[in-house]
C-alpha cells in the first residue's frame, strides 16, 4: 500500500484523541504535581469517594479500565495509606474500596489543585467549548463499539 493511500493523522479519530489526551494529561499532571499524585490517581480517589465504598468492578466500569490496570493504579494509593480494600459484608469474595482518613485529606488537597487546572483549561479553551467537549467525550464513552460477529 502506498503512503498516499493511507489516511493522515488528522483523519484518525483514535490518534488525535490520544494525542490530545496525552497533552491534557501532562498539563493536569504538572498542575497536580505538588500533591504528589498524578491525574489518574486524583480521578481514582474521587471515584472511590463518590462511590460510597464501591466494588473494584464498579470502579473499573466507571473509569472504563480493566481490573488489572485498576489494581496497578491502586497499589501506590494503598501503599501510601490513602485507600484500603475491604471485604464486602454480604460476599467476602468481593473487594470494596474506600478512602482512609489520610486519603480524604489528600483528596481535599489534590482537588484544590484540580480546580486550578480545570479553570486554566476553561480559560484557554473557553467555558462553553469545554462543556461541549466534556459532553461529546461522555457521549463517546457511552457508545457500544462492539463489532458484529464475523461471518
Q: What CATH number is associated with residue 36?
A: 1.10.10.10
In a domain, 57, yes or no: yes
**In angstroms, how far is the first alpha carbon of the chain from the final one?**
26
Domain that holds residue 33: 18-126
Tell me the three cell numbers of residue 31.
498542575
Mapped onto helix, strand or coil, the DSSP state of residue 132 is: helix
In a domain, 67, yes or no: yes
One pLDDT digit (tens) per residue for the chain, 151 residues = 566 655 566 778 888 899 999 999 999 999 999 999 999 999 999 999 999 899 999 999 998 899 999 999 999 999 999 999 999 888 888 889 999 999 999 999 999 999 999 999 999 999 999 999 999 999 998 888 887 877 6
In a domain, 105, yes or no: yes
Number of domain units in the chain: 1
d(CA 58, CA 69): 14
In a domain, 6, yes or no: no
Q: What is the pLDDT of residue 145?
A: 85
Helices marked H in the chain — which ranges?
13-32, 39-51, 56-63, 67-79, 101-125, 127-141
Per the listing, cell 485498576 goes with 70
In a domain, 30, yes or no: yes
Q: How far is CA 148 from CA 57, 144, 145, 151, in A?
A: 25, 11, 9, 9
Residues in the chain: 151
In a domain, 7, yes or no: no
In a domain, 147, yes or no: no
d(CA 38, CA 114): 10
- Give this prediction's pTM: 0.84
In a domain, 22, yes or no: yes
Amino acid at each position: 500500500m502506498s503512503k498516499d493511500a493511507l489516511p493522515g493523522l488528522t483523519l484518525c479519530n483514535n490518534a488525535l484523541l490520544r494525542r490530545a489526551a496525552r497533552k491534557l494529561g501532562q498539563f493536569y499532571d504538572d498542575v497536580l504535581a505538588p500533591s504528589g499524585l498524578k491525574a489518574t490517581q486524583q480521578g481514582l480517589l474521587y471515584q472511590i469517594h463518590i462511590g460510597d465504598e464501591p466494588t473494584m468492578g464498579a470502579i473499573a466500569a466507571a473509569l472504563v479500565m480493566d481490573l488489572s490496570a485498576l489494581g496497578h493504579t491502586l497499589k501506590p494509593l494503598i501503599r501510601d495509606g490513602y485507600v484500603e480494600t475491604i471485604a464486602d459484608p454480604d460476599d467476602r469474595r468481593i473487594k470494596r474500596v474506600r478512602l482512609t482518613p489520610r486519603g480524604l485529606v489528600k483528596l481535599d488537597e489534590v482537588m484544590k489543585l484540580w480546580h486550578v487546572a480545570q479553570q486554566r483549561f476553561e480559560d484557554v479553551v473557553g467555558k462553553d467549548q469545554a462543556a461541549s467537549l466534556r459532553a461529546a467525550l461522555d457521549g463517546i464513552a457511552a457508545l457500544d463499539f462492539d463489532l458484529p460477529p464475523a461471518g
